[in-house]
Amino acid sequence: MSELSKETKTTLLYIIVAFTFSVLMRLIWVYQFNGYEPFIFNGQFMINTNDGYFWAEGARDILSGTTTNPDAKEFFDRFHQLHDLSPVATAGAQLTAFFAYILPFSFESVIFYLPVFLSSLVVVPIILISKSLKNLEMGLIAALLASIAWSYYNRTMAGYFDTDMLNIVLPMFLLWSIIWAIRTKQDIYLLFTAFDILVYRWWYPQSYSLEFSFFGLILFYTLIFDRDNKYNYKLLAMMLFAMMGLPEYVRFFIVLIAYVTLKKESMQEYIYHILGLGFVLFFVTGGFSPIWGQLKNYVFKDTIAVGEEGLKLHFFTVMQTIREAGHIPFETFANRISGSPITFVISLGGYAYLSYRYKVMLLALPMVGLGFLASVGGLRFTIYAVPILAFGVAFLITELSSLMPTAKLKILSMVVLTLAILYPNFKHIEAYKVPTVFSANEVKTLEKLKKIAHREDYAIAWWDYGYPIRYYADVKTLADGGKHSGAVNFPLSYILTKPQNVAAKMARLDVEQTEKDFVLAQANTKLSKDKKVKIFSTIEQLTTNYGFTNTNDFLHSLQGNIILPKKTRDIYIYLPFKMINILPTVDLFSNINLMNGKQGPKPFFFVSRNFKDTGDRINFGHGIYLDKKTGKVIIGNQQVSLKRFTKTVYDKNMKLHVDEKLLNNTTSINIIYMSNYNTFLILDDTMYDSLYIQLMVLEKADPKLFEAVELNPNVKIYKLKI
């Protein structure tokens, strides 16, 4: 009994040490930027991930309990206005609201520090798994490394308020319960495993792929190594019941009933029948459908998405433009998982050796496989492999240390080797000085918008800024981090990159059609399947509404005097300076023939900040020069006469002055020198005439179409007048 007590005390001590270490490492960023005003709002640091504002919006609305629909009976309708997309029914928002309600801290403090403490809980299952393998030192070393490894730290650091703060913690607890179930054969772990799945799915609905992978590997493990063990079949059945495609509360009660049933001695002879029933219910309730959907989204990515019905429009897909969903080189891949390529290779070998010694660790392969999916699916997946490969290098360290002749040398060797694998990750943390999503000045601008606009009004901006705009300005948006398909992005791209006259019309059309589609979708919920009205993309709806069968003809009609829908709300155009870097990417989504999917010719647009003035020339970089004597722009081997040179400068009152000189009206290459930003733009007429350049860079808004609401170097906001 005393030996068990000692082991328990050691386990708790190691958990406390690893948890404290993880928290302190995440406070380095806080220390580095302590008192840095641009990152602080309402006396607290702002968060540094766009998606975090999604959960923050939902939590805020839950806590406020505001509503414009007092007769609503649905849970989510009690906390926000109709069609605002606030995620009040999601786990992230609900858990955050709970913590914000019970803790004596500001809401801003809760959302900023919550990732620090929740993500650090990953050390608990790591050490508990190691306890099962009778190697607590391995658990401590693995916990220290996993808690601060590059990718895990990047996505769980202070201010990274997103589902990732529990996305590794929960599957690691699931792995722990599975391993303990198989090693102890205790019935309580059947319930723990099922509850782990329920909580994991509640927190992260996309968890089904990993859950199903665990199930498949347990089935394989059972058939190969433990075929006659009925306990494993009970475990598989419990997992199937927990994974069914039914609401959480239904699965909860089914799991409880299954647990009580499977515990009965009289039911042991029916275990295979119960397992078969689990398979049937899993597939009948659609348990496998979302798994295939995830594979299509992240592995089988297409550049162009084609509609299956209606006009069969072709849209440019967003997955090809997201960095986290792209291919990554081996060094980056290895660094993100283990901190360095050397540690990664050692960790991989260590995990193979650990699995050879303890076959139960093969059950961690789904997380390794999902982590390795980063090679095709993007760097976001690397976090899944982090804790498992941390076991590998930690196991080798303990094995090597065990060869030492004395206890002191054993401890010393473990400490030295552990510090060696931790050091690259610590250096990464020290250098990883990511900014907040918005600066304090940008937030102040949105606060002004909040006072001017109504909650039913729209702010039009690229999808990157959707969530934070909704959070700070409390207005609606057309796109955000969760709503940015090619069909959604087409009209937004069109608005931002086309001339003002057609952009303004598209803004009004898209907003009003979006609201109509919300109403139609709500009406569909009350109709039988055969009576539901098909809702197409807004651009297709608009095409057919105006009597066209070819979207190109509809877009051409915007240049004329088409009749716009009745105005039901105000629309604001949000134009941040930081968007200038992604303007060519924004253009991709509307620079496409929707009828056949052919991309149009790319407009020329180049941003230069590291330019050099050599006297006769200005070298913009990448083989682009301006010859001052001839007035020609040299682009590679081509020489093009400069059409116009424009200089912008803010005076002491922050009023913008634009000096535009037309040099040659027969060419189409322009240069804009944004003196206060120390930035040159080299761009053709297509980009020069775009709404973004005209309104944000030059402040040359058509007074018939737009009214300036806020003009400052960071952000320009205009109100649509039509």
Q: Please say whether the beta carbons of 682 and 671 come within 8 A.
A: yes
**Residue with structure tokens 């300036």?**
708
For 45-66, b where at least 16 C-beta lie within 10 A, e where not — what string? bbbbbbbbbbbbbbbbbbbeee
CB burial of residue 154 (10 Å; 0-12, 13-18, 19+): buried
- Looking at residue 694, its pLDDT comes to 98
Predicted pLDDT of residue 196: 97
Spell out the residues 6+ positions from residue 78 whose beta carbon is closer than 8 angstroms to its own. 65, 67, 72
Return the H-helix or E-strand segment holding 101: helix 91-102
- What's the CA gap between 351 and 355, in Å, rounded? 6
pLDDT value for 720: 98
Contacts of 161 (CB under 8 A, 6+ apart): 47, 49, 52, 55, 56, 96, 111, 112, 114, 115
CA 395 to chain centre: 33
Q: How far apart are CA 673 and CA 642, in angstroms?
A: 13
The three-class DSSP label of residue 204 is coil
* Distance between CA atoms of residues 338 and 469, nearest Å: 36
Q: Phi/psi class of residue 562: alpha, beta or left (left: φ > 0; alpha: ψ in -120 to 50)?
A: beta
For residue 56, the model assigns a pLDDT of: 96
Phi, psi of 40 (to 5 degrees): -115, 135
Contacts of 224 (CB under 8 A, 6+ apart): none
Cα–Cα distance measured from residue 484 to residue 326, given in angstroms and rounded to the nearest whole number: 17
- State the amino acid at position 26 in one-letter form: R
Q: Is 551 exposed, middle or buried (0-12, 13-18, 19+ CB in 10 A)?
A: buried
DSSP state of 301: -
Q: Tokens 């005097």 label which residue?
A: 561
Three-state DSSP class for 90? coil
DSSP type of residue 600: P
Strand 571-576 vs strand 458-460: parallel, antiparallel, or unpaired?
parallel
Answer for the pair 64, 480: CB distance below 8 angstroms, yes or no.
no
Prediction pTM value:
0.89
* pLDDT score at 294: 59
Pairing of strands 669-674, 638-650: parallel
Report d(CA 278, CA 38) in Å as an integer. Answer: 55
Phi, psi of 648 (to 5 degrees): -115, 145
Torsion angle defined by CA atoms of residues 102, 108, 112 and 118, in that order, rounded to the nearest 10 degrees: 10
Q: Which pLDDT belongs to residue 157?
A: 98
The pLDDT of residue 301 is 52
Residue ranges of the chain whose pLDDT lies below 50: 1, 66-78, 325
Alpha carbons 94 and 280: distance in angstroms, whole number: 33
**What gap in Å lies between CA 199 and CA 207, rounded to an integer?**
10
Residue with tokens 């001052």: 628
- In the 8-state DSSP scheme, what is residue 533? P
Residue 575's nearest CA partner among 458, 701, 696 is 696
